[in-house]
Copies of this chain bind each other. A is one copy, B any other.
Amino acid sequence: MNHRFVFIGAGNLATRLSTRFQEKGFSIEQVYSRTEDSAKALADRLQTAYTTSPEDIISDADIYFVALKDSAFQEVLPKLDIQNKLLVHCSGSMPLSSLEAYSENIGVIYPLQTFSKKREVNFSEIPVFVEANSPENEKKLLQVAGAISEKATVLDSENRMYLHLSAVFACNFVNHFYTIAGELLKSKNISFDVLHPLILETSQKVQAMEPAFAQTGPAVRFDKNVIAKHLNVLREFPEFGNLYEIVSESIFKFHQNK
C-alpha cells in the first residue's frame, strides 16, 4: 500500500529522493521531465518508464512527487489526471495550498539538504519536513518520510519557508563564497585544495557551538588595517570587493549590537 510512486521532475532533488525511495523498497513507476535527456537519465538509473508529456503521466500510482522548480508547477500540474491520488511536492518555498487545485489529497515532503545528481548523501541523517491536508495523509507521509530518514517531523508551510530561506544563506550563499575564494586563489595559481581543512572546520565548529560565538576574522575584530589591505587587493575584482564591504559591515554591526 502507498508504495507505487511517480516522480514529476528529474533534477537533483528528484534524482536523490527517488533513488533513496527505491533503495528502501518503494517502486518508482514513472518519471516525468520536460526534457527527454533528463527524463531518460533518471528513468535509466531507476530502470523505469518515462515521459515528457504531463498528459501521459499514469493515473494509478499511489503518490505523485512534484520535484519541479516552483515556477514550473503551473505549467505542468494542470495537465495531470491523477484522480485525487496523493499529490506531494518537495519544495521549501511553496505552500501546501499550491497543490489544492490538483487533488483532494495533498502534502509536502521537504528534505533539508543540498542535492547533486552525482553525489550520494547520508539520507538517514537528513531532516525531512512533512505537511498534509488531513490527518490520514499526514500519517501516510510521515511513514514514507520515516522510511528514508530518521528525522521526519511535521512542519507547516510558513515555518518551512523560513527553513528554506535559512538554507539559502547556510548553503547556497556559503557555496558562492567558496566559489569566490576559489576565484581569488585561481588568480594566483593557488589550488582551492588549500582551503579544504578551513572549510571543513568552519562547518564542524557550528555543529558544536553557536555560529555567533564561532565568528573570527578582521570584520568582527574591526581590524581596519586588514580590511583596507583586502579591499586594496579586491580593486581587481570590483564585484567581490562590493560583497566584501557589505558583509564585513554586516558582521561588525551584528556583533556590535550583541
Q: How far is the CB of A229 from chain B (nearest CB, A)?
A: 5
Q: For chain A, what secondary structure do more than half of its interface residues adopt (helix, strand, loop), or is it mixed?
A: helix
Give the residue name and chain of the B residue nearest to A189 (CB). Answer: B159
Do A114 and B202 have beta carbons less than 8 Å apart? yes
**Interface: A139 (CB within 8 A):** no
Which chain B positions have C-beta within 8 A of A164?
Answer: 226, 230
Do A71 and B119 have beta carbons less than 8 Å apart? no
Distance, CA A169 to CA B174, complexed state (A): 9
How many of these chains are in the complex? 2
**Interface: A179 (CB within 8 A):** yes
Interface magnitude class on chain A: 35 or more
Interface residues of A in 115-133 (CB under 8 A from B): 115-116, 119, 121-122, 125-127
Do B168 and A178 have beta carbons less than 8 Å apart? no
**Interface: A101 (CB within 8 A):** no
**Interface: A210 (CB within 8 A):** yes
Pick from B162, B182, B206, B243: contact of A250, CB under 8 Å: B243
Interface residues of A (CB under 8 A from B): 12, 69-71, 93, 112-116, 119, 121-122, 125-127, 158-159, 161-182, 184-185, 187-188, 190, 192, 194-212, 214-221, 223-226, 229-230, 233-234, 239-240, 242-244, 246-247, 250-251, 253-254
Across the A-B interface, the 7 shortest Cβ-Cβ residue pairs = A172-B217, A203-B203, A178-B211, A166-B181, A170-B181, A179-B211, A169-B181
